[in-house]
Structure formats: structure tokens, C-alpha cells
Amino acid sequence: MATDPLLSFLQRVQSNALRSMGPTNFDPKLYVDLPLKTDLPAAISAFNSLPRQSGTIPISEFNTFLTQFFEEAGSDLVYAKPVDFKPEPEGFLVEVENEVVRRWALEVHAIWKTLSRRVSDAVKIRPERHTLLYLPGTVIVPGSRFREVYYWDSYWVIRGLLASKMYDTAKAIVFNLVSLIESYGHVLNGARTYYINRSQPPLLSSMVMEIYTRTGDVELVKRVLPALLKEHSFWVSDIHQVTIQDQRGRKHCLSRYQARWYQPRPESATIDEELSLKLSTPSEKDSFYHEIASTAESGWDFSSRWMRNSSDLTTTATTLIIPVDLNTFIFKLERDISTFTKIIGDNSTSQKFIEVSKSRKAAIRSLLWNPNLGQWVDYWLDEHDAHQGVYSWNPGSQNCKNFASNFVPLWLLAHYKDQLTEEFDEELIINSLKKSGLICEYGIATSLSNTGQQWDFPNGWAPLQHMIIEGLASAHSKEARQLAESIAINWIKTNFVAYKKTGAIHEKCNVESCGEYGGGGEYKPQTGFGWTNGVILALLEEFGWPHKDRYRSKDRYIAINYQNSSVQKRTAIIYRLVPKEPATDATVPPSNQLSSFKYLIPFFLLPTSSMSPKHHSFRIFGNITREERVTGKKYVDILIFAFELEKEKKRNNKNNRRN
């Protein structure tokens, strides 16, 4: 039982609710989310006085008790209209040309209003009556039973908010998560007291990078950087970091998930307790509770990925697994910190984190890369193998089953190209993905095992789709980019059809059937839904609609922000480049080859004060980095040419007026 007095009491209420009401449609989380109307001692006294029949409280008396002593679950989060929401923001999804899809995208965009909340002042005034934690700013909740803000969900929520031009709301979410680090030393799984014991995949630095990329907000970087350093310390602390010696005798450090919890999860206590009945000893039960909570820290709760026996959750062994995606996220955290410290002029810390990230890259290469599969894979530790805290690497301990997580390192191509994948055969990896069986008609399956767990086949999840799609779209080969677009289009299609059928966006989808939402797991399918909305909008921003082969387009667009060049700091121009002949490749020529274009058409002009560096969609030409894509550095030669052309045009017009 939890040591927090309110939480301990709410778990008693939860347990009695199950006995009184039965398991049908029972959601244990509901009861630990209830805010108290009165002081705790009064509620406990009244609860203890309730009549019982064979240990069970009659339903009518129990419901009366709930009404008298508790507010509704979620009532301590109140509606808060986002200050930066506009029904159709300027520059919103400019490449979505199909009217039906555009209307749908605007409906998805409008869902941000329904998911926007702020924590009630009552939580700040009487925190002892709430399991909800106070946060200073607006939050976007996932939806349905997930009434509070969640950690890794927020990255894809922010990606969608940025597509919706809601920069202030995106920053507010970041500041809320930073406040959790400042209070607890890490970002919590979610903003509830019962989540303090664990985190979720570390993506805060990625959220900050996305916002900075769009806005150039250096003050945001300065504000968040101390928290990011704390977060890094959390993920390389003794509880998470593991040392493994490879076959050449080199020692590597990688990280794992490990919650600080050895009891039933309060939000699912009745479920955990029932599962533990098959275990014999208290130590076995405690170990199971620890593993289940650690799996929840992974965000993949639950999956055959973490289980010795895929049909038995009590065989979960997450703390003995070195996950490839977690270490990918931490590698990116380290690179992001290096970038941010360089931005503020701290070159020493920047170089330190470059070296730290290089060590992690070498560890991933040595321990988690499988050249025969052409995949990165998880590594299972032998709990009896560690000698003075150091494990010996065994190639047979790599988990060679196909999971979508095996391809998450591709995501780094969109952010730090050639920093992690430079030594790997890109063609081998793409072929491995195509042959893996994970790519289905309507998205990427989470695994190939149909276990009934929600992070297994046939479910597809928005974050996994997005990371792999974004990585493929940034790869060198045209085949990879076309595959990215194909997966994206099919994922958008199935979500569109599901929305039209049900009127809702869903937490997960069945990738075998168009328009069918996913199932399985320990709770009913949920709607809302924060990260699914975000990925839909991000993919529509990236790929547009209807599908166009943007790598062989006759009408090519180039977006330039003069704020990022020395040519002109007050004006941004978007030009359309019209080729004399049909394009034969995707590369935009340098200025000395602009004769291949018959003219440059100024598309429109805007003052930079009204647009961010990524206010408008950017067409990608050839193989360019994310930084080049945002700053336009690769196109400075074209920019200069275009600017001079514009000046010459103005001079001619002025001379004509004089004449």
C-alpha cells in the first residue's frame, strides 16, 4: 500500500469499489484520481463506518459515500482556452490542398481546445486533498481516462501544436515539465503523486529543440538548460546506468528503465494484486511490482518485448533489458545539451557532452547493433553474470525478435544526421525494415506477437510511426523517402476513416484494417487523443495532401527566412522556382546554374516579426540536414541571387516611373 496517506486511503476505496461494483467496466484509476471535498480524517472515519455485507459495502451506500466526500475525477483540472488558438492559423498546413482532408485537419486542430486544461487553484491551496500535482501553466491532456499531463506524450503533442502555430502553449507544456524536474529531480511519468516513483522516455530536450528550431527563442534554452542537466544526471545515475564489457574488453555504459517502486501501482493496484496471486512469496510479488512499474516507465505498458514468457505478465523483466530506444533518446539528449550549451556560449560543457554522446554511440554500436539482422536490438542482462557491477557481453543475449523500437535510431537522421548511423549500411537497415513484417497496410506494427497486450501486434502507435517515418524521410536514398511517404499516407488514411466512423481520434490503431482502432491491454480503448492528433498534424505538415512526388516536382518551392542570413534582416520571401525543362533530379542548383530556371517568381513577402524561422512549410531538396532546412543555409547563394533580382526589379520600376 502506498505510504502517502491520501493515496493509501484511495487505494482502499478502489479495492472496495471493485468488490461492490464488480469487474465489468471497472477502471481502478478513477478512484485514485478523486479529489476530496473534506479533510482526510473525516472521509476515513465515514468510510470505516459504512455497513458491510460479507466485507462488501452495498452499492447504494458506497455511491452515497463517494458523492458526499469526493468531487468528480478530473474536476481539479479546469478548462482553459489556449491563448494562442486560432480556428485557422496563418500558414496552417499550406500543402494540404484537398478540401475534405483540410477540413478534417482543422477539426483535429480544434481538438486542442477540448484537451486544454489548467490545474485548479484548489490543488495549490489544499494539495493534501488531491493526487493531482499543481503545475503553473496550461496543459494538454491525452484524453479520456488520462486526465493529467504525461511526459513522453507531450513531445508529439508539441509537434502538433507547432504545426498549429501554438507556440505559447507548447512552451507552457515545457515549463510545466521543467517544474517537475525542479521539484522531484526528474520529469514524472505524469503529474500525479502516484507517478513520482518513475519517469518516462526522456524527450524534454527534443521538445525544447523543436520549439527553438521554430522560434529561435534563446531565453527558452537558458531557462530549460539547468533542468536538462538534472534530467541527464537522473538517467545516468546508478539506478539506471549499467556497465557492460564487450568482447574486446572495452567497458561501455548504457541505461535501462528502473522505477523506485515495489508495490502495486496505485492507478492499477487491483489489477497488479490479482496478477500477483500466482506468485508464491512476498519477495516474488515485490519483484513483480517493481518490474511492472519499471515497464510503465518505458511507456510500453505492456508488451512481449519485456516478458520472458509472452503469455505471462508476471515474467516481465524490464530492469534486465537495455532498450535501444531509451539509449537513442539519451544520446539525443546529450547532443541537444551540447547544442544548447554552445548556443549560450558555454563551449566547455558543449564539448563535454559531445564526448559523452560519442561514448554512448560507441556503446550502442558495440552492444545493440546486429549486423546480421540490419537492426538495432535490445540487450538482455544475465542477472547472475555481473562481476563487481560489470556485465560481460554475450551475443546470444541480444533480443533478435522484430519490434518497431529496433528502428527508432533512424529517427536521429532527422536531427543529427551521421552522428549515430554513419557507420551503418543504410540500405541494409531499410531492407531489414521492409522484410521485418512490421510494415502493414495501415502503419507499422509494434511487434509481430499477438499477445493481447496493447504494445504488440496488431496495434500501431502514433509515436512509433512518426519517429520511423521522420527518420526514413531524412535518409539518403529516394527509396527510403518514398517508403516514409507511403507509411505516412496510410497512417493518415486509417486515422481519417476511424474519425469519420467514430467521431474521435484514437490512442492507437489496428494496422491491419483501415479505420479500426486498437485494443488490448488493461483498460478500454481511449480517445482524444493528444499524441495521435499531434502526429497527424505533423505528418500533414511534412507531406501535404494529396500525395505529391515532391522529389520530382515541376513547380519547386523554396522558403527563405532572411533573419538567418546577412543579406536582409527585415523581410522574408518565398520564391517559386520554375524549371525550363521537367526536373530530372531533386537538387536545387547553386546560383551559378540558375540559368536552368527561366524565372523566379516572388510568391509573397512577410516581415519576420510576424513569422518564425519555420512559419511556413519548407520543401526539401536533396539531402539536407534539419539545421539547413530551418536556417536556409544551403540556399544562401539562391537567396542572394533572388534578393539582388528583387532589388534590380525595384530599381527598374523606379526608373520606369521617372521616365
Question: What are the cell numbers at 204?
Answer: 524534454
For residue 546, cis peptide bond before it (omega within 30 degrees of 0): yes
Instruction: Name the maximum alpha-carbon separation found in the chain.
Output: 103
Cα gap 308→299, rounded to integer Å: 18
Q: What DSSP designation does 265 have? A: -
Query: Which residue is associated with the grid cell 502495486?
Result: 264
Look at residue 342 and give its three-state secondary structure: helix
Write phi, then psi, for 260 (nearest 5 degrees): -100, 70
Active-site choice (301, 426, 485, 541): 301
Q: Closest by alpha carbon to 203, among 186, 191, 182, 185?
A: 186
CB atoms within 10 A of CB 274: 12
Q: Which residues sit opposite 70 in a β-bridge?
A: 36
Judging by beta carbons within 10 Å of its beta carbon (0-12, 13-18, 19+), is residue 282 exposed, middle or buried?
exposed
Cα gap 38→47, rounded to integer Å: 13
Cα gap 252→250, rounded to integer Å: 7
Angle between helical axes of 462-473 and 530-543 (0-180°, round to 10)? 20
Concatenated DSSP letters of 458-523: TEEEHHHHHHHHHHHHTSSSHHHHHHHHHHHHHHHHHHHHHHHHHSS-BSEEETTSTTPBP--SSS
CB atoms within 10 A of CB 370: 16
Active-site choice (148, 325, 426, 507): 507
Cα gap 339→219, rounded to integer Å: 14
Per the annotation, the verdict on 301 as an active-site residue is yes
Query: Which residue is associated with the grid cell 484511495?
Result: 10
Q: What DSSP designation does 364 have? A: I
Angle between helical axes of 153-163 and 204-215 (0-180°, round to 10)? 10
Judging by beta carbons within 10 Å of its beta carbon (0-12, 13-18, 19+), is residue 625 exposed, middle or buried?
middle
Residue 394 Cα to chain centre, angstroms = 32
Torsion of CA 280, 283, 288, 294, to 10 degrees: 180
Q: Which residues sit opposite 321 in a β-bridge?
A: 380
Cα gap 96→517, rounded to integer Å: 24
Catalytic residue numbers, as ranges: 301, 507
